[in-house]
Structure 1
C-alpha cells in the first residue's frame, strides 16, 4: 500500500526510495537524475546493491535551502 505524503508520519531517520522522493516532489525520475548529475539533488545514500535512498532529514534540509534561495 502506498502512503500519501500528506498523511505519512515524517521521521527524520526515514529513508525514501527514488520513486517515493519523485512522487513526493511530483517530478519525474529523469528530472531527479538530471538534478543529481548537476549536483542539485538532495544528498543521497548509495546502498551496497547500488540503489539510492534519501534520508527524510536531508530532504527537509534541502527543501529549506531551496526555499531560502528563492
Structure 2
C-alpha cells in the first residue's frame, strides 16, 4: 500500500490535484486508517494508469 505522498510523487501531481480528482471520482480508491492516514493500493494506482493509457 502506498501513502498519499508516494502516489502524488509517482504521478507528479500535487496533493490538491489528488483531492480534486477524488471529488470528480477519478482518483484511485483509498483506505483511511484508524489514525486518519490515507493509503492507496498499488493495484488501484495501476488500474488508474491503465485507464489513462487506453484513453490516450
Is the counterpart of residue 54 in structure 1 residue 36 in structure 2?
no
Count of aligned pairs between the two proteins? 56
Shift of 1:54: 0.6
Indicate the structure with greater helix content: 2
Alignment partners' CA distance in 2, 1:49 and 1:38: 25
Please, which runs of 5 or more residues in structure 2 have no aligned partner? none
- In the TM superposition, structure 1's runs of 4+ consecutive aligned residues that sit over 2 Å from their partners are none
TM-score, normalised with respect to structure 1: 0.73
Is the counterpart of residue 64 in structure 1 residue 50 in structure 2?
yes
When Rg is computed on C-alpha atoms for both structures, the one with the higher figure is 1
TM-score, normalised with respect to structure 2: 0.88
User: Could you give the per-residue CA deviations for residues 21-68 of structure 1, whole angstroms, max 9, x where no partner exists?
Assistant: 111100001101111111110111111122211111111111101211
CA RMSD in angstroms comes to 1.0
Secondary structure of the residue aligned to 2:40 is strand
Please, which runs of 5 or more residues in structure 1 have no aligned partner? 1-14
